[in-house]
């Protein structure tokens, strides 16, 4: 409990505190919700309009977000631990799923798995080519065996133009 | 009592058909698999496999999904003991003494006591479900809209109190879930909410993309960015899966105590496997004549929490099946699964669909029996799986996430939603915001609003209806007391202690 460290906190350090960030996130969501629902009819308690419950929840969330934000001022607030560069994983992991979803219709599930594995493996730092190929082959076999022939999911196996 | 045996007979009749036995086995196998593998948990797995159950009978689907949940409790201990890394959050405490036992050359004994303790706990807890569900459902049937609303408030508050970390953040997460649950067309007024003119959003956000994104993808992103420490697998030290007489004598009372505390905590909203395991460990350490043995391979430190987590996993089905109130994230998904199959969750499930209810209960007992076989004699197979490096494993997780979401409607929109929720899941992990309360809020949101509207119509808009009805008042007082109790500094310290153990 040293007041000295709190005084020296720079705005950048302050913004790396977990409670500050979480509070800002909740406040942001609530404010956005209030803005988006500004024209929803509220109605009365007996005949609640479309906006009654959403606006009520947004106001409560706004209040809670402020409390969490204020907690970030405490000297004991935890700072976000430094992490290696995150963007590769944060972008490529979700992207691998999206690529799969857009590929499966026109290209079939086999090609979609290959694309998912390629994009997905780029997200990791220590992928090895041999392992990636092995993983793709095993996953293709497993998918055909379990999902296509076993359960009979209605998904195309081969490209449309095949 | 004659009723009881008649019901059980009906249940076994359903559970023993070859199809349902098969699905129980698949569920237990998949459950053990995700339990053994760190980095993927039962919530994400149940969410991934849920769309596949559209193609099955409801009872077969639920039997399989249930098997995944309690199977994961068995599998989680294997990794904890052999690798000193929890396969599941519910086996975090098993690492402490289980891995030490393995270092002392007693890996076989640790694995055996975990499996046998879990089996005993599973049998006992299943019996509790069979005994206590019918009376509880009777109580539930007398509930009107105000009582249901108050019950859900209590459920959400309790879930928040028993989650670890900041309570205010957890409440905020519940609200975030409630808001996400509102997206789409309002069933009562027909008005669109938060759809921003997008037709595709008018049906609302599905709980499968939310759960897979936050619990599945978010976890993968986090694991890739900050890799877990190197695994050190103790495989050569599994010598015989038998306990010595001395070990048995020390372990069985711990198992019984763990089963009882786990069964109690499992029923509570917010309870379930993880909390039960922590409580089981703390209890054993408190009761031990020589607490210094803990941390150095005390067998009670494995028997207690492992029995507790399985008992807790099983009894957490009670409020879900009898009242339609989910106590944890997996139960919330089970509620979703019921709804998808056109079954309104609530006390009427037991009377209207006795075959579904009792078939599930009977299958749980059979599943526990299968799990002992899956886990003990076949342990070598799971050990081999642990040798697969995570850099290959996550590709499989990604694919199952993708197939699970895509097969919901065979369109890309839900996959994009999942991708976005994956990023959200990672952000929440970094900011220490527990995602489980959000999922509970998301699932309960529409039900709460419906009951709130009905209650308001009954009382012509007077909110006092929640206080004038004795049962509703009691439930609300319980919720308020819970919040008050955790706000007390003394209790808050204890709460942190339970979650910080180890």
Complex confidence, ipTM = 0.90
So where are chain B's domains? 2-227+238-500
Provide, as residue numbers in chain A, all residues whose Cβ is less than 8 Å from the Cβ of B416. Answer: 98, 101
Beta bridge partners of B192: B185
CB B184 within 8 A of CB B205: yes
Contact yes or no for B194 and A33 at CB 8 A: yes
Residue B233 near residue B80, CB atoms below 8 Å: no
Which H or E element spans position B256? helix B245-267
The residues pairing with A17 across neighbouring beta strands, listed in sequence order, are A79
- The pTM score is 0.87
pLDDT at B490 (0 to 100): 59
- For residues B266 and B236, which has the higher predicted lDDT (pLDDT)? B266
* B60-94: pLDDT as tens digits: 999 999 999 889 888 888 888 888 877 777 888 88
Q: Does B401 touch chain A (CB under 8 A)?
A: yes
* B496 lies within 8 A of chain A by CB: no
Angle between helices B300-315 and B107-141 (to 10 degrees): 30
A chain contacts of residue B53, beta-carbon cutoff 8 Å: none
pLDDT at B501: 47
CA atoms of B90 and A116, how far apart (whole Å): 31
pLDDT at B497: 61
User: What's the pLDDT score for residue B166?
Assistant: 80
Q: Which of B97-111, B187-201, B415-429 has the lowest mean pLDDT?
A: B187-201
What pLDDT sits at residue A2?
41
Q: How far apart are CA B298 and CA B8, in angstroms?
A: 38
* DSSP percent split of chain A into helix, strand, coil, nearest 5: 65, 0, 30
CB contact under 8 A, B166 and A68: yes
Residue B380 confidence class, pLDDT cut points 50, 70, 90? confident
**pLDDT at res. A5:** 47
Q: Do B193 and A64 touch (CB under 8 A)?
A: no
Confidence of residue B446 (pLDDT cuts 50, 70, 90): confident
At a CB cut-off of 8 Å and minimum separation 6, what does B288 contact? B294, B298, B300
Which among B185, B286, B223 has a CA at the least distance from the CA of B422?
Answer: B223
Determine the Cα–Cα distance for residues B271 and B158; give it in Å rounded to an integer: 8
Range B265-279 average pLDDT? 81
CB contact B179 to A (< 8 Å): yes
Please report where in the chains the tokens 């409670």 appear, as a residue.
A19
Which of A89, A98, A113 is nearest residue B415 as measured by Cβ atoms?
A: A98
- Would you call A9 exposed, middle or buried from its count of C-beta atoms within 10 A (0-12, 13-18, 19+)? middle
Question: Which of the two residues, B478 and A152, has the higher pLDDT score?
Answer: B478
pLDDT over 70 at B2, yes or no: no
A37 to chain B, closest Cα gap in Å: 7
pLDDT single digits (tens) B288-304:
888 888 888 889 999 99
**Rg of chain A's alpha carbons, rounded to an integer?**
25
**Residue B272, helix vs strand vs coil:** coil
Q: What is the pLDDT of residues B368-377, one digit of tens each?
A: 999 988 888 8
CB burial of residue B300 (10 Å; 0-12, 13-18, 19+)? buried
With both helix axes pointing from N to C terminus, report the angle between B167-182 and A52-71 in degrees, rounded to the nearest 10: 150
Longest dimension (CA), chain B: 71
| pLDDT tens digits for range B217-253 | 998 898 888 766 555 666 655 667 778 888 888 889 9
Which residues of chain A carry a pLDDT beneath 70? 1-8, 162
pLDDT at B502: 39
Across the interface, of A18, A83, A89, the residue whose CB is closest to B432 is: A18
In chain B, residues with a C-beta closer than 8 Å to the C-beta of A76 are none
In this predicted structure, what is the pLDDT of residue B57?
A: 87
CB within 8 Å: B432 and A53: no
B426-443 residue pLDDT tens:
999 888 888 888 998 998
Q: How many CB pairs under 8 A join A and B?
A: 189
Residue A50 is predicted with a pLDDT of: 84
Beta carbons of A64 and B416 less than 8 Å apart: no
Q: Given an 8 Å threshold on Cβ–Cβ distance, is B176 in contact with A61?
A: yes
| Number of Cβ within a 10 Å radius of residue B384 | 10
Low-confidence winner among A46-50, B123-127, B238-242, B460-464 (lowest mean pLDDT): B238-242
Closest CA to B269 of B60, B65, B443: B443
Question: Nearest CA to CA, how far is B444 from chain A (Å)?
Answer: 14
């Amino acid at each position: 409990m040293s007041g000295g460290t709190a005084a020296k906190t720079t705005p950048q350090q302050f913004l790396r505190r977990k409670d500050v960030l979480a509070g800002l996130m909740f406040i942001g969501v609530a404010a956005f919700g209030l803005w988006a629902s500004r024209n929803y009819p509220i109605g009365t308690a007996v005949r609640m309009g479309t906006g009654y419950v959403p606006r009520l929840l947004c106001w409560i969330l706004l209040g809670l977000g402020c409390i969490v934000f204020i907690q970030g001022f405490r000297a004991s607030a935890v700072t976000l631990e430094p992490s290696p560069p995150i963007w590769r994983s944060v972008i490529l992991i979700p992207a691998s799923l999206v690529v799969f979803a857009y590929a499966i219709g026109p290209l079939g599930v086999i090609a979609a798995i290959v694309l998912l594995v390629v994009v997905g493996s780029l997200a990791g730092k220590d992928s090895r080519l041999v392992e990636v190929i092995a993983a793709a082959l095993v996953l293709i076999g497993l998918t055909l065996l379990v999902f296509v022939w076993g359960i009979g999911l209605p998904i195309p196996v081969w490209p449309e133009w095949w | 009592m004659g009723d009881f045996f008649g019901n059980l007979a009906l249940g076994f009749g359903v559970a023993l058909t070859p199809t349902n036995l098969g699905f129980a086995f698949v569920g237990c196998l998949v459950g053990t698999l995700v339990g053994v593998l760190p980095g993927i948990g039962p919530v994400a797995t149940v969410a991934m496999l849920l769309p596949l159950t559209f193609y099955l009978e409801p009872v077969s689907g639920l039997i399989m999904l249930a098997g995944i949940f309690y199977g994961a409790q068995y599998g989680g201990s294997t990794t904890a003991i052999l690798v000193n890394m929890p396969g599941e959050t519910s086996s975090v405490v098993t690492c402490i003494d289980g891995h030490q036992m393995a270092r002392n050359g007693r890996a076989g004994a640790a694995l055996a006591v975990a499996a046998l303790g879990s089996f005993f706990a599973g049998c006992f807890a299943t019996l509790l479900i069979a005994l206590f569900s019918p009376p509880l459902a009777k109580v539930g049937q007398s509930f009107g809209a105000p009582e249901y609303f108050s019950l859900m408030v209590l459920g959400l508050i309790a879930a928040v109190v028993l989650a670890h970390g900041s309570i205010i953040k957890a409440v905020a997460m519940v609200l975030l879930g409630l808001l996400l649950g509102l997206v789409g067309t309002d069933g009562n007024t027909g008005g669109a909410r938060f759809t921003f003119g997008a037709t595709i959003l008018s049906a609302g956000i599905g709980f499968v993309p939310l759960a897979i994104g936050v619990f599945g993808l978010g976890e993968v992103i986090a694991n890739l960015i900050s890799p877990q420490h190197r695994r050190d697998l103790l495989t050569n030290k599994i010598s015989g899966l038998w306990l010595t007489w001395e070990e048995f004598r020390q372990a069985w009372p711990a198992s019984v105590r763990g089963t009882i505390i786990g069964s109690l905590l499992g029923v509570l909203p917010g309870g379930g496997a993880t909390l039960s395991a922590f409580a089981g460990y703390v209890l054993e350490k408190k009761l031990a004549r020589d607490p210094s043995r803990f941390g150095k391979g005390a067998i009670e430190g494995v028997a207690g929490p492992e029995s507790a987590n399985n008992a807790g996993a099983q009894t957490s089905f009670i409020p879900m099946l009898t009242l339609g109130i989910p106590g944890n994230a997996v139960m919330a998904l089970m509620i979703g699964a019921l709804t998808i199959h056109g079954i309104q969750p609530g006390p009427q499930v037991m009377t209207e669909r006795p075959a579904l209810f009792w078939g599930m209960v009977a299958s749980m007992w059979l599943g526990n029996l299968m799990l002992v076989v899956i886990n003990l004699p076949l342990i070598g197979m799971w050990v081999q799986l642990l040798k697969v490096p995570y850099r290959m494993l996550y590709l499989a997780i990604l694919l199952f996430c993708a197939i699970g979401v895509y097969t919901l409607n065979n369109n890309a929109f839900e996959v994009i939603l999942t991708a976005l929720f994956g990023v959200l899941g990672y952000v929440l992990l970094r900011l220490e915001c527990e995602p489980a309360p959000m999922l509970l809020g998301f699932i309960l949101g529409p039900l709460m609003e419906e009951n709130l509207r009905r209650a308001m119509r009954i009382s012509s808009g007077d909110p006092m209806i929640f206080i004038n009805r004795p049962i509703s008042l009691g439930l609300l007082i319980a919720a308020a007391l819970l919040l008050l109790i955790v706000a007390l500094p003394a209790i808050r310290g204890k709460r942190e202690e339970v979650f910080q153990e180890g």
